Structure 1
């Protein structure tokens, strides 16, 4: 029976590289590219079909930063598919990242240079903003939208006698120090990306605790330092022209510089081949590349605890009720208005 695989953020970078690798592994997949930009999604689909002409590649419009988009996409998925085998939660943003140039050059000529590039610790800040749903954009896109999608798709993910998989694209930038359980949306902080990725690590742990008995298993990956559109947007292009030779040279001394989307998708692809029962729910599976260019996956323990992850899970359930109630109210008002216009005409 063909596997049904949905990948969010699949139109470029790690998501597109993953799709290419999955189709190479199993050409019988039913692959769904869930993307915000449908023009880029069409281009990605064309590229995949060029190398895999017989593949079944479908498109779905999904903006995980929008509650209404998530609800609409989930409804379409429930109509189209009878089950989901793999749900790759790869979409994410780091809006308007700013670099402390002084800290960058100071770190460039220090012993901390490898860690600085690998994690961007102490180097980046982001300017967050509110969505039309009244949520912090990074939180909504990197975490809550995906949580809401999972909740809406539970009938397809949790089926008797079957196992389904959720795989998160996290980051080495995920940090306990950036996260506050009293401020899960990171309204008062300056490390929204790091906070959202740490929250996804904790949510994965909670999902395993609540859903393994129903056949749903969640895993977390880290792609390493990958050069994607998100990464290139951090610094002006001329900086990358100067830095890239240094980065390739540094890779000789560290395995976290995966650099290419293909390499960064290593752990995501590796998990596709594993039995879920054999995986560690407290591990983050890292994509690594040796200095000679060999790709491999390594499990590293996450800095997470049951109590905080359970509290986060509860807070997300409460927020889900509130935002879904508002979304249904807006839909009802919109339908009433359309009906009114029809009567006037």
Structure 2
């Protein structure tokens, strides 16, 4: 694989996290379909086998495309720091950073709540947002962080902070574009428990915090030419969706699809395919970031007849909470970096201890 030197002239440099499948991969395909030669695309993924397969698929459709791979696991502090250093070695600028990687581990489906909602007036909202029927069991990473929080949110924040030299320039603008969710509910978020250690909806909490963080990033970075936006892909059939009911046979999902198509006649949020779900991500690529509303979430929507479009809707967020979250993140960044350095020093001490003395 050949990488373009940072000294060479670049057009648009785009990095997409979680790009090896689903909405992330669909976005990459759409970007290359619009502009193959004027785009430098970097797929940042934690599973390099799947990343290689994704790259091969993109190159089979666009042989002239420049598609690079980057190994990064947003749940790992060291992985993010290493990946950020690699990006700064490869590129002298980054025009678009799509913060798309995310997980919903071990989703628990409340069957009783589902059937209760199925025969109520909130049936469409229940399908579209999963509110009231989904909980998850989170775990702790080796860095001591909650996994959903680290993967969906904090790893991305740390990446942005590390990539400031290539994102922030006085003579041009760059964009941060987050994949949020309609499952981002204020009720799931607690500023005193940003990692959601005590709750059962870490995914919803992480997505609501994403909305808050985007607002804070605009407050602190717009003067440096960096702008942040969030999107909602709608209800999309991806591996994350299928994991909600993993025990269901494939034919059941096949039988459910006509039901989903029927529901789409009554709500435009059922985008269903990754291609449709990536609509807002792709739409933002073509916009002037200075004209965007920092308090809006840009929704991918699909009409009953299959037409895709993007619509901004105001988010349920406030500046005071967003600033408090930002300050919490800055302190957490200092803490995790300090802890990482202490681990590295301890490891070096053990490695270089004279034979027979062991470590202290």
RMSD: 1.5
Q: After TM superposition, list the pairs within 5 Å mapping 1:296-307 onto structure 2.
A: 296-307=309-320
Deviations 1:121-177 (A, max 9, x none): 000000011110001111111110000000000111111212110000000000111
Q: Does 1:249 align with 2:262?
A: yes
Q: After TM superposition, list the pairs within 5 Å mapping 1:45-60 onto structure 2.
A: 45-60=55-70
Deviations 1:277-318 (A, max 9, x none): 110000000000000000000000001101000000000000
1:284 aligned counterpart, secondary structure: strand
C-alpha displacement at 1:241, in angstroms?
Answer: 3.4
Q: Give the aligned partner of residue 158 of structure 1.
A: 168
d(CA) in 1 for partners of 2:33, 2:19: 16
d(CA) in 1 for partners of 2:160, 2:130: 29
Q: Which moved more, 1:256-265 or 1:242-251?
A: 242-251
Q: Give the aligned partner of residue 295 of structure 2.
A: 282
C-alpha displacement at 1:330, in angstroms?
Answer: 1.8
C-alpha displacement at 1:111, in angstroms?
Answer: 2.5
Structure 1 portions without partners, runs of 5+ = none
d(CA) in 2 for partners of 1:105, 1:46: 43
Q: Give the aligned partner of residue 332 of structure 1.
A: 345
Structure 2 portions without partners, runs of 5+ = 1-9
Q: Which moved more, 1:154-163 or 1:241-250?
A: 241-250
Q: Give the aligned partner of residue 295 of structure 1.
A: 308
C-alpha displacement at 1:252, in angstroms?
Answer: 1.0
Q: Give the aligned partner of residue 248 of structure 2.
A: 237
C-alpha displacement at 1:343, in angstroms?
Answer: 12
1:182 aligned counterpart, secondary structure: helix
Q: What is the aligned length?
A: 344
1:237 aligned counterpart, secondary structure: coil
Distance 1:135 1:159, change over 3 A: same
Deviations 1:68-126 (A, max 9, x none): 11011111111111110000000000000010111122222333221111000000000
TM-score (norm 2): 0.93
C-alpha displacement at 1:199, in angstroms?
Answer: 0.3
TM-score (norm 1): 0.97
Q: Give the aligned partner of residue 319 of structure 1.
A: 332
Q: Give the aligned partner of residue 20 of structure 2.
A: 11
d(CA) in 2 for partners of 1:341, 1:95: 44
C-alpha displacement at 1:340, in angstroms?
Answer: 4.8
Q: Which moved more, 1:222-231 or 1:96-105?
A: 96-105
